[in-house]
Amino acid sequence: MAKQGKINTDLGGSSDPVFSDDVTKIVNNLDENVASFAGLPVDTATISTKLDIYNKTRLKVAYPAQEEDTKEARKEVQKDITKNGNWLNTFCEGNLALLKKTGYQLAKEGEAQGKLELTTLSLTTVSNSGLIDFYITHVKGQGIHYGIMLTPVTNLETNPSKWSFYYASQREGTIPNLDRDTKYKMSSFAMGTEKEITYSEVVEITTL
C-alpha cells in the first residue's frame, strides 16, 4: 500500500512571486491530470482568472491602495486553492502517488514548533444575519490549526482561555449561532504542537 500522505492547502506564508508560481504549478498539474480528479469543486479556469487579476494588481504601477487590493485578490485565489486542497485530501485518501499529481506541496510530518507567533484577527459584520465574517493572519509552519475565543462584552472575564471556543477549520470564514444586536469580544490563536497559546489582540464587534 502507498504511504499515507496529505497536501498543504495553505500557501499563506510565501512571498507574492512564490505564491503565484505555486498556484500556477497547481493549476498546470491539475490540468494535466484532470481525469484523475473528477469532481474538483473549483475548476482551474476560474483559479487562473483570479490569479491573472492578482498578478496584474500586484504588478501595476504603484498606487495608494495597491497593497490592500493585492491582498484581497490573493485571498480570492487562496480560497479556491484551499477549497480544492481540502477536497483533494479527502478524495485521495492519503495516496501519496496521487497527491503528488496535484501540484500541491506535501505536508511534512508533525514537528515540534515551539511557541507560535501572534495572529491578527479581522472581523466584519454580515447585515441582518447575526453572523460575523473573520480572517486570521497566517502563521508559518505545518499542521497548524486556528481557533477563536469569544464572549459577549458583558462578560467581565478578561482571560480569553475562559471564553467560548470556535474552531476555525480555515483561516477565514463565518462564525454562526451568535445572538443578534449583541457586542462580542474575540481573540484568535494558532494551534500547533506547543501547548502554550498566544492570543491575538482582542477585537470587539456588534452583530446585526
Q: Which whole number is the average pLDDT over 111-120? A: 74
**Can you identify the CATH homologous superfamily of domain 121-206?**
Immunoglobulins (2.60.40.10)
Res. 113: pLDDT tops 80: no
Grid cell at residue 70: 493585492
19 in Cβ contact with 74 (< 8 Å): yes
Q: Given this model, what pLDDT does residue 50 score?
A: 97
Q: Given this model, what pLDDT does residue 2 score?
A: 43
CA distance 37 to 194: 36
Dump pLDDT digits (tens) for 144-188: 889 999 999 999 999 999 999 999 878 889 999 899 999 999 999
Dump pLDDT digits (tens) for 129-155: 999 999 999 887 766 889 999 999 999
Neighbours of 115 (CB within 10 A): 11
φ, ψ of residue 148 to 5 degrees: the values are -130, 130
Dump pLDDT digits (tens) for 31-58: 999 999 999 999 999 999 999 999 999 9
Q: Which whole number is the average pLDDT over 66-80? A: 94
Q: Given this model, what pLDDT does residue 1 score?
A: 39
CA distance 168 to 159: 20
Average pLDDT, the chain: 90
Q: Where are the domains of the chain?
A: 16-100, 121-206
CA distance 169 to 149: 14
Contacts of 140 (CB under 8 A, 6+ apart): 13, 117
Residue, of 70 and 15, whose pLDDT is higher: 70
